[in-house]
Amino acid sequence: MLPTARIPAALIGPDKILWPVDIFGKSRTRMTHAFAQPLSALPSGRLAGRVMAPGDKSISHRALMLGALAIGETTISGLLESGDIMATAAAMRAFGATVERGTDDIWRVNGLGTGGLLEPEGIIDFANAGTGVRLTIGIAGAHPFATTFVGDASLSRRPMARVLDPLRDMGAEVIARSGDRLPLTIRGADPMAPIEYRVPMPSAQVKSAVLLAGLNIDGVTTVIEPVATRDHTERMLKGFGADITTEHANGGTIIRLVGRPELTPQRVTVPADPSSSAFLFVAGLLVPDSEVTVENVLLNPSRIGLIVTLKEMGADLAIENERQSGGETIGDVRVRASRLNGVHVPAERAPSMIDEYPVLAVAAAFAEGDTTMEGLAELRVKESDRLAAVARGLEANGVTCREGDDSLVVTGGRVRGGGTVTTHLDHRIAMSFLIMGLAAEQAVSVDDSAIIGTSFPDFVEQLKRLGADFADGAEAA
């Protein structure tokens, strides 16, 4: 049976909550985010220059995890040094791996091998990192010891059932709050059983959690995706020496992983995150007379839905210096200020741009006509209910939109601005509406910019280098 000890009430700090709770989820007190940092983006003059977005978040998470599961030293250059990734680094240390940043800015991970992780001495706090916690739950769930996970107020509202259900099928035991939410404790069976799992909805996180669990299970673990999602886990597993095969069929994939491999440490170079780069693309397209080049952007085919959509809208966008690095396609993306037109974005494109819909909605607000986005159910269970948060942010700034259960229609044209947007502790909501403020008639404010550090710590500084202007809460008032 799992332990019933209480989780210590020791999680107080920026972007965190006070959690005097037991692991059955009976919260005594919840004190959310006492260190909010309001920020306003002011109407901007021309943006110009070359800039680099932070390292890709998906690849950064996976590099740290697979480094911890390999035997020997993995080196990682270009790692995203954000709150989410630092949470994953801390988690790998909690499992016994050595994770250090050198003076040369190279991260070094000395792993313990597949099945070699140690039982953490305390709880593992993932703050706001949804990808980090779901993938690490997959790793921990295949080990025969108990691991307890907690997060901030936003993460603690997000459902974990779709990751936990296949792990239960493999034999893991879970105690969680109602709705399978954090805090939760998971213990793997000894032994675990490989499964064939059909992912019920497109989710790279669920696929990855099952595959990472399968690393420590004898036999073949199979994941069937009716709709293909980003494939960074499969590519990186193969790069680290795992026996993994992928079969494409009818728009989906069948992935088979042979368990108990001996992973080989690697030299990983992390390209720029296309989801973070998206804010820079849209800023360059919306602010008059601008020309911005974002360097070294990851152009994995499963991640370029926004680029495809912006070009359909009439964006002056070009990919330059395209090349291969570490099994991935990268390139420099150059954008020039453009007159955009509304388009229909089909549901089947959603997996390739799910994190970019908030900033696409901002671009759509400036486009001529309606932009219809479908297949957005996944946005309901992100760091916030992103679909609702985007709709309320648009309305607060004078933009007409229609929110459906899994769709959004934005009527573009004049953007008055002047509103304050509630971010709900969601970094992408904060950044998207700050981009709106750079091109609107009046400044746009967000109630909290501190959360931006979870994925793009130098977001404001990078935009300032291009010519953007911001004011903090006091100055804006």
The reply to whether 57-268 shares the fold of 39-54+272-476 is: yes
Nearest-angstrom CA–CA distance, 76 and 332: 21
Q: What is the mean pLDDT of residues 123-137?
A: 96
Look at residues 463, 464, 390 and name the one whose alpha carbon lies nearest to residue 430: 390
> Which two three-digit tokens encode residue 450?
């501190």
Out of 84, 125, 152, 355, the active site residue is: 355
- Look up the pTM and report it: 0.84
With H, G, I as helix, E, B as strand and everything else as coil, classify residue 100.
Answer: strand
Beta-bridge mates of residue 358: none
When mean pLDDT is compared across 23-27, 231-235, 301-305, 388-392, the lowest value belongs to 23-27
The residue-averaged pLDDT of 258-278 equals 96
291-298 and 48-51: which strand pairing? parallel
Q: What digits encode the pLDDT tens for the residues 416-471?
A: 999 999 999 899 999 999 999 999 999 999 999 999 998 999 999 999 999 999 99
For the residues 212-221, what does the mean pLDDT come to?
A: 98
Contacts of 191 (CB under 8 A, 6+ apart): 171, 217, 218
Asked if pLDDT for residue 476 goes beyond 80, the answer is no
Cα 431 versus chain centre, distance: 14
Is 370 noted as a catalytic residue in this protein? no
How large is the angle between the packed helices 130-140 and 204-214, nearest 10 degrees? 30
Average pLDDT over residues 163-167: 98
**Is the Cβ–Cβ distance between 94 and 120 less than 8 Å?**
yes
Place 475 in a pLDDT band, splitting at 50, 70 and 90: low
**Extents of the domains making up the chain:** 39-54+272-476, 57-268
Q: Is the pLDDT of residue 216 over 90?
A: yes
| Residue 29 reports pLDDT greater than 90 | no
For the stretch 22-26, contacts whose Cβ atoms lie closer than 8 Å and that sit 24 or more positions apart, written own/partner, are 23/148, 23/175, 23/183, 23/184, 23/185, 24/175, 24/177, 25/176, 25/177, 25/178, 25/181, 25/183
Note whether 284 and 292 are within 8 A (CB).
yes
Tokens of 240: 């680290």
Residue 162 CB coordination number (10 Å): 17
- The rounded distance, in Å, linking the Cα atoms of 216 and 360 is 39
User: Any idea which residue has 């679909």 for tokens?
Assistant: 387
State residue 15's pLDDT score: 36
- φ/ψ of 167, rounded to 5, equals -65, -35
pLDDT of residue 57: 94
φ, ψ of residue 169 in degrees (nearest 5): -60, -30
Better-scored residue on pLDDT, 218 or 35: 218
For residues 150-165, average pLDDT: 94
Please spell the DSSP secondary structure of 294-325, one letter per residue: EEEEE--GGG-HHHHHHHHTT-EEEEEEEEEE
Confidence tier at 162 by pLDDT (50, 70, 90): very high
Q: Which of 245, 246, 163 is nearest to 207 (CA)?
A: 163
Tokens of 224: 């069937």
338-391: pLDDT as tens digits: 999 999 999 999 999 999 999 999 999 999 999 999 999 999 988 889 999 999
Cis peptide preceding 183, ω within 30 of 0: yes
Q: Say how far apart CA 477 and CA 473 lie, in whole Å.
A: 6
Q: Which CATH number fits domain 57-268: 1.10.1040.10, 3.65.10.10, 3.40.1080.10, 3.30.420.40?
A: 3.65.10.10
Q: What is the DSSP string of 404-418?
A: -SSEEEEE-S-----
pLDDT confidence band for 414 (50 / 70 / 90): very high
Helices (H), 240-287: 274-286
Q: Are 186 and 135 in contact (CB under 8 A)?
A: no
In CATH, the number for domain 39-54+272-476 is 3.65.10.10
* Model pLDDT, residue 347: 95
Find out whether 282 and 356 touch, Cβ atoms under 8 Å: no
Of all residues in the chain, what percent carry a pLDDT higher than 70? 92
Which token pair is 373?
A: 């986005």
Tell me the C-alpha distance between 22 and 34, whole Å: 23
**In sequence order, what DSSP letters do the residues of 370-401 get, joined into one string?**
EEEEE--GGGGGSSS-HHHHHHHHHHHTT-EE
pLDDT tens digit sequence for 49-72: 999 999 999 999 999 999 999 999
Whole-number Cα distances in Å, 373 to 229, 410, 443: 18, 8, 26
In angstroms, the Cα distances linking 96 to 34, 65, 117 are 32, 12, 6
Query: Crossing angle, helix 357-366 and helix 427-439, to 10 degrees?
Result: 20
